[in-house]
Structure 1
């Protein structure tokens, strides 16, 4: 693991904390102390805390954890209602280390038309642009083509979670190595990455690839590493909500293997996160 590595996607949760009305699951207890204990097992001590879908726009747990963590080792990505959150509030969160807003399209299976998706990302981008925040998206890869027409005009950087959430062929119906260009939406993801303002997270592979050796997602990973090494960031997706108890260490080892082979391990695990999340390189 490189020095000054960052885990760029993880959550803090508390089963006693009120959930949003549309919450799809009840989490276990996973606080900041638990998070840091986990991170010590993979050699990382700096975190980007992401607002989980179950709490909607109530960022209390995240902000409390971020305050304890501090800006030297912490950044945050919140959720907020564009009609109910003042710019002064966003500025106060910025001082705590918040550097992005999350639009979670995938977790609750929100079905948006192309026009609806474009309107939503444009609305949030306009608000966060003065703060130079990141627009964090959890979206199915098949919906990424809907983003293409507007991304260049958003004026903000995008971070797409979990390899872009591809729909992979079933394990019994795969030709390996998998040709990623046969996966719906992959070419659009490539187009966005090549345009330069979009980042992709190597995270959450177990959500889409049931192969314990991750041979399906490997084809996507290796192809992206050929040309997007400057815009790929690592994340553990701890505590693996809805998959709690998962051993993520084999996936971490896979990411290290893939990035070592491409000669970009320091970038993917450290430097790219520093650049995306406004972190001085000495932290």
Structure 2
């Protein structure tokens, strides 16, 4: 008999919640304006896909105001979150965030465009200093081109690092960026999310992604998790930064993205590790 899919305890480790914007206004200096994707819509998606656990990630257009995400987490018992904070935060605030389910801090470099490497290193190190209080992780969204120059910084951090969306390594990569990503994984200090496949290929169901995903998992099966990247935020270059006109979400089959996991991995034990065991360890899920 075929194994149940998704397995019990499966987690979506990368989603966003948005609005309603009348209650949770967006940052003025945002790169774009998405539509609303409130808690009820997220809960419906998780139910439709039979996913038992979820990790919310603070999106760029809310900057360091994590209120929308935290309120959503309060309505989804047992959920976990990855926040965005300024460089200096009182210990009491970190204590409160941990109590409410925050388990990591995100440094989003790719959305705004990569700048100076020294600035990236500074921002990542500042987040790691805050994370060290509770052993949280730093989550980074960076272009694949900076993986190699950032590697020494990441490996020296006092906490683990989680790299978003395949490290933005594409199936057409010449092997240099992928090689660096695999070396980081093999160190045991770095995690990778095989999420947002539509960010590395025009078609997220492109079969050329299959061997890429398998190589990433093979490099360290205990350091890979999956995420849908729901609600599939719009491409950022369709409007000028800060424009208020809403952009529609990308038309992506979320359930189809989940179904890619067994296609990519071709092993029920690996699927259970990526969807259940690894997220439980990384985010501290409890039943």
Q: Name the TM-score, length of structure 1 as normaliser.
A: 0.88
Residue deviations 1:66-113, cap 9 Å, x none? 11212x2x0011111013x21210110100111111100011113232
CA distance, structure 2, for counterparts of residue 63 and residue 185 of structure 1? 34
Q: Give the one of 56, 68, 71 matched to 2:63.
A: 56
Q: 1:212 to 1:87 in 2, by over 3 A?
A: closer
CA distance, structure 2, for counterparts of residue 218 and residue 228 of structure 1? 16
Secondary structure in 1 matching 2:266: helix
Question: For residue 191 of structure 1, what is the aligned residue in structure 2?
Answer: 183
CA distance, structure 2, for counterparts of residue 34 and residue 58 of structure 1? 21
RCO higher in structure (CA 8 A, sep ≥6): 2
Alignment of 1:1-283 (within 5 A): 1-14=6-19, 15-16=21-22, 17-70=24-77, 72=78, 74-83=79-88, 85-113=89-117, 115-169=118-172, 182-242=174-234, 243-261=249-267, 263-280=269-286, 283=287
Kept after mapping to 2: 8 A contact 1:36/1:45: no
CA distance, structure 2, for counterparts of residue 90 and residue 52 of structure 1? 19
Residue deviations 1:183-206, cap 9 Å, x none? 442211111100001111111011
Q: 1:262 to 1:163 in 2, by over 3 A?
A: farther
Secondary structure in 2 matching 1:110: coil
Kept after mapping to 2: 8 A contact 1:209/1:216: no
Q: How many residues align?
A: 266
Residue deviations 1:219-278, cap 9 Å, x none? 310111223211110111110111433212222211122223374011100100010112
CA distance, structure 1, for counterparts of residue 202 and residue 116 of structure 2? 27
CA distance, structure 2, for counterparts of residue 99 and residue 128 of structure 1? 8
Kept after mapping to 2: 8 A contact 1:167/1:183: no
TM-superposed deviation, 1:154: 0.7
RMSD: 1.7
Kept after mapping to 2: 8 A contact 1:230/1:272: yes
TM-superposed deviation, 1:45: 2.7
Q: Name the TM-score, length of structure 2 as normaliser.
A: 0.87
CA distance, structure 1, for counterparts of residue 48 and residue 256 of structure 2? 12
Residue deviations 1:107-135, cap 9 Å, x none? 1113232x322222122212211211110
Q: 1:254 to 1:167 in 2, by over 3 A?
A: closer
5+ long unaligned stretches in structure 1: 170-179
Residue deviations 1:12-44, cap 9 Å, x none? 002433222331221222111111111122210
CA distance, structure 2, for counterparts of residue 80 and residue 252 of structure 1? 30
Secondary structure in 2 matching 1:131: coil
